[in-house]
A = this chain, B = another copy of it.
Amino acid sequence: MVNYSQKGMQNPMRQYNEKARLLVSCKDQPGIVANVSSALYQIGANITESAQFSTNPTDGMFFMRIAFDHHGAHALTDLNCHLLKLKTSSGMTYRLTDPNQRLRVAIFVSREDHCLMELLWQQRTHMLPVDIAMIISNHDLYKKTAHEFSIPFHYIPITKDTKIDAENAQLRLLESRVDLIVLARYMQILSPQMIEHYPNQIINIHHSFLPAFSGARPYERAYDRGVKIIGATAHYVTDELDAGPIIEQDITRVKHSDDVPSLKKIGRLIEKNVLARAVKWHAEDRILVHNNKTILFT
> Contact residues of A with B, CB < 8 Å?
1-2, 4, 12, 16, 28-31, 33-35, 37-42, 44-54, 57-58, 69, 82, 85-86, 113-114, 117, 121, 125, 127, 148, 209-213, 225-229, 231, 245-251, 255-257, 265, 268-269, 273, 292-296
Determine if A269 and B265 form an interchain contact, defined as CB atoms under 8 angstroms apart.
no
Q: Are B211 and A225 in contact (CB under 8 A)?
A: yes
A229: chain B residues at CB < 8 Å are 209, 231, 249-251
B251–A251 CB distance below 8 A: yes
In the complex, are the beta carbons of B47 and A52 less than 8 A apart?
yes
With both chains docked as a complex, state the minimum distance between the C-beta of A223 and any C-beta of chain B, in angstroms: 9
- Which of B38, B50, B54, B295 sits near A38, CB closer than 8 Å? B38
Question: Which residue among A2, A82, A85 has the maximum number of chain B CB atoms within 10 Å of its CB?
Answer: A2
B29, B49, B228: the one within 8 Å of A248 (CB): B228
A16 to chain B, nearest CB (A): 8
Chain B residue with Cβ nearest A274 = B228
Output the least CB separation between A135 and chain B (Å).
16
A246–B58 alpha-carbon span in the complex (Å): 36
A82, B1: Cβ atoms under 8 Å?
yes
Given contacts A30-B46, A295-B256, contact A127 B268 (CB under 8 A): yes
| Contact between A48 and B57, CB atoms less than 8 A apart | yes
| Closest residue of B by beta carbon distance from A224 | B293
A136 CB → nearest B CB, Å: 21
A41-B30, A114-B121, A246-B227 known; A256-B46 Cβ under 8 A: no
